[in-house]
Each structure stands twice: as structure tokens, then as C-alpha cells.
Structure 1
Amino acid sequence: MTMASASAPIEKKVKAASAATYLLSVAGLSILGAVTDNPSLVSSLPDGLEPFILALVPAASAAIAGWMAPHTPRSDA
């Protein structure tokens, strides 16, 4: 296994996953901010599970975006 050099470009998959995670996190926090007075969005969950379930949304978006984004070809040199 080789390490990427410091000057190697960032793969499209990493950029796509990072951008999707950021955007979906912002959207999720906006939605939660909007329903602060009516927390029915997460009220059905046990209190101890809420942060873990909510954290799955950006993690899933990163996984999906990374899977869907094309791989950046690189030379074997």
C-alpha cells in the first residue's frame, strides 16, 4: 500500500462525500432548528439514541456520495 504524496490532488470521491456531508448536515440542522417548538421529528426516539440516529444522516450521505462519485484515475508510477 502506498501513501499519496502531499502534492497529489484530492479525489473526486472525497470531495463529493465531503460536500454532501456538509450540505446535508446544514440542511438537517436547519430542519431541527425549525421544529424546535415541535420536536415530533425525534420525539419518538429514546433520548439516548437521538444523537446516534441523527448522526447517521450525514454519514449515510457521505457514503452514498462517495459510492456514486467517479474514481479519479491515477498513474501507477
Structure 2
Amino acid sequence: MKILIRNLDRTTNEDELKLLFQEYGTVQSCNLVTDKVSGTSKGFAFIEMPKVGEAKAAIKNLNYKTLGENKIRVKKAEPKAADTPED
């Protein structure tokens, strides 16, 4: 299951996120979204956890948890809306 983490402190890194989510199960991947020019965090990330039960436990327990200076928001990532071709 793909999870979206928002409202991250700009100093949070991927290793911190992985450790936080590994408390609830296997983390398949972690992608901290960064600005292409400055390389700094944009304040959100995606985590993939292969087991749905573990992912749901992580979402339930980590939503609104304080990480760094911010209360993070954690939820299931929605698939990107497909671009519909115009006729």
C-alpha cells in the first residue's frame, strides 16, 4: 500500500521516515519529495508497505504524530488521476 505523509518538518530525512514506519512493518520504499533546484524537502513523502495490515496500523498510529517541529498527516495515497485525452 502506498502511503502519503504530509506536513513534514523540512529537516526530516528518508532514514528517519523509514525508521518511524518500520516500527509497524516492512517498508518497501521511501521517497521524500525534494525541490529540483534547491534539493530541500517539499514537506511531503511517500512510503510503500507491501502488507496492507501493517500499512493501516502505521497510518492509524502515526497520523497527527509530532515529528520534528510538525504534526504529520498520514493517509493512504490516492492514485494519480489519469490524463484524459481530448477529442
Could you tell me the TM-score, scaled by structure 1's length?
Answer: 0.26
Q: Which has the higher helix share?
A: 1
Q: Which has the higher strand share?
A: 2
Could you tell me the TM-score, scaled by structure 2's length?
Answer: 0.24
Higher relative contact order (CA 8 A, sep 6+): 1
